[in-house]
Structure 1
Amino acid sequence: MAEARLRFETEPQETQGGPTRRLLAVDGEPAFELSFWCGSCPFLFRRLAGARQTLSMASLRERLAEPLPGLDEGVIDAFGTLLPEGVYLPLLLRVEPRLVVPGQEGDYFSHEQVDTWGIDQFWGLPEYPHTPYYRTFETVVDDDAHLYEFVVPMVPPTWNDRERVEEYVEQMRQGQVPTAVAVSTLDLCQPALDLSTDYYQHWGLTHFLLDGHHKLEAAASAGRPVQLLSLLALDESLAEAADHGRLAALRSQPRLSRGARRVR
């Protein structure tokens, strides 16, 4: 059996005694840094030098041009060959992506996260993910927790082929809903102490895009939905089994921002 192209790894910080980093590696190179294991540090996905290629499968292009009628075992098995051995929860979601540039309007790291953790004390700045990303959904978990969902491309949208993006835009305007595929994590993060203006637990559902980079950009541009097949890595998430079990019900709730919740 061929070695998986994606792996979840841990790596000590360069500073002696620093916390161990969680990483998503592609072909043996660190591609994304993830939230620290402690669960009290800020939620994080940060693009690294190893994130420089997509993992689309030409053999599935036609099948993924349309919405899947259900959890397709053939598609799951095909993308499963890219992933390390572990326990995965497949989720079939409908997402309406909004492209966000770090530091600009709608950036989670500059707004919601700062309200809870403040800015980084060393850099004097918010966390910086080193990549544009898509915000797709958020909702209330309970009085003390809120779910945020993100789709993170392996390469920035500026690397996408313009003609392919425009082809998808036109197809979506005619009602087509294609399917994208991602490997995902669920990280629950909350500061140890309440020293913020808005103290609560952040549920970060992050989909690292394997297939569908042009589709996501087209959907964001056209204001249209796409279907997302998420392979949620249960062993690699900062969450318990009961938390994973709540995701389907939470994703069926109405979209509600944290700000709207607070003013109700």
Structure 2
Amino acid sequence: MIRLGEPRSLGVPAPEARLHFDTELQEIGGGPRRRLLMVDDEPAFELSFYCGTCPLLFRRLETATQKLSLESVQDRLAGALEDPDDGGVIEAFGALLPEGEYLPLLLEVEPRLVVPGQQGDYFSGEQVATWGIDQFWGLPEYPHTPYYRTFETAVDADAHLYEFVVPMVPPTWNERERVEEYVALMGRGTVPTAVAISTLDVCQPSLGLADDPSTHWGLTHFLLDGHHKLEAAATAGRPVRILSLLALGEGLAGAEDSARLPAVRTQPRSARATNLKQRRRSHLRDNNSAHSGQLHRQQAN
């Protein structure tokens, strides 16, 4: 399920916003070094680098300790929003954000909790297939946080969309009783709503370096509200809705890519078959074909 609102101007001046995007400058030379998501003037996440060929990244930093829930809209979010504009939720959370253009997306997802380095981890799986391991560390990128995977689909033959929900604080910080309450509510059919600010990063590797040199569209939802709901949905295998406020102009995506995103997001879910997997399948087919031909020749003789 996906429902769209109209792109709109939201937010307050950056110095007044609890959350904003920033660029850390080098002390010498003045060039950009890191893109950052800031919460209460503290760096919360390091984001994908500007270079255009670097891999997708969301890396939790030591000062990421704050959630941004709003008590004033909790009743509206206890169940499923039916429309992005329902109940003044956008305006309420817009007051936490920096001035800018945002595209509201209302999504229904079934999240799957992923621990870095373990099964299903994007950074040690699909990302390594495209970029390889980090040449300095000799390891995959490491996000320093568990996160949720929710959706993926093909953009075209050479590009794939990967969607993530990233908690501001780890699920281990959640209150167990509240998680269990949501598990019980979801078991009775309730579909609660979470709220996130989101970015779209389109990252393309340098040519000739990868097993699967495809472009990765990373749709990353940073949770403002709904940490207990996402964990409960992942635990119970139940759906949850996410009101995403996509920050237009803050990700590594052009206007045309952002405009295509809603249509791409409505496509059927599909995993990407990497070139490495395809080559392995082709190799197996070639071996099987050669073996069959050898048998045929032996039988003919």
TM class, shorter-length: over 0.9
The one-letter amino acid paired with 2:45 is F
Q: What is the aligned counterpart of 1:104 among 107, 111, 118?
A: 118
Structure with higher Rg: it is 2
Unaligned runs of 5+ in 2: 1-11, 282-301
What is residue 226 of structure 1 aligned with on the other side? 240
Q: What is the aligned counterpart of 2:76 among 36, 56, 63?
A: 63
The one-letter amino acid paired with 2:218 is G
What is residue 93 of structure 1 aligned with on the other side? 107
Q: What is the aligned counterpart of 1:42 among 55, 59, 83?
A: 55
Q: 1:167 to 1:37 in 2, by over 3 A?
A: same
The one-letter amino acid paired with 1:68 is L
What is residue 23 of structure 2 aligned with on the other side? 10
Written as runs of structure 1 = structure 2, the 5 A alignment for 1:1-264 is 3-13=16-26, 19-72=32-85, 74-259=88-273
TM-superposed CA distance for 1:49, in Å, is 1.9
Say whether the 8 Å CA contact 1:95–1:225 is kept in structure 2: yes
SS at match of 1:147: strand
Q: Given the two structures, how large is their TM-score scaled by the length of structure 1?
A: 0.96
Kindly tell me the number of residue pairs found equivalent between the two proteins.
264
Unaligned runs of 5+ in 1: none
Say whether the 8 Å CA contact 1:133–1:153 is kept in structure 2: yes
What is residue 297 of structure 2 aligned with on the other side? none
TM-superposed CA distance for 1:39, in Å, is 1.5
Q: State the Cα deviation string for residues 183-211 of structure 1 (Å, max 9, x = none).
A: 00000001122211011100000000000
TM-superposed CA distance for 1:26, in Å, is 0.3
What is residue 287 of structure 2 aligned with on the other side? none
The one-letter amino acid paired with 2:205 is P
The one-letter amino acid paired with 2:25 is P
SS at match of 1:258: coil
The one-letter amino acid paired with 1:21 is R
Q: Given the two structures, how large is their TM-score scaled by the length of structure 2?
A: 0.84
What is residue 4 of structure 2 aligned with on the other side? none
SS at match of 1:188: strand
TM-superposed CA distance for 1:242, in Å, is 1.4
Of 4-13 and 153-162, deviating more is: 4-13
Of 103-112 and 11-20, deviating more is: 11-20
- Supply the RMSD in Å over aligned alpha carbons: 1.8
TM-superposed CA distance for 1:94, in Å, is 0.7
Q: State the Cα deviation string for residues 129-165 of structure 1 (Å, max 9, x = none).
A: 0000000000000011000000000000000000000
Q: 1:130 to 1:116 in 2, by over 3 A?
A: same
SS at match of 2:219: strand
Q: State the Cα deviation string for residues 228-251 of structure 1 (Å, max 9, x = none).
A: 000000110111111111121111
Q: Distance in 2 between matches of 1:127 and 1:38?
A: 16
Say whether the 8 Å CA contact 2:18–2:96 is kept in structure 1: yes
Say whether the 8 Å CA contact 1:25–1:50 is kept in structure 2: no
The one-letter amino acid paired with 1:24 is L
Q: State the Cα deviation string for residues 54-84 of structure 1 (Å, max 9, x = none).
A: 1111111111001111012610000001100
The share of aligned pairs that are identical, in percent, is: 73
Q: Distance in 2 between matches of 1:56 and 1:107?
A: 27
The one-letter amino acid paired with 1:26 is V
Of 13-22 and 224-233, deviating more is: 13-22
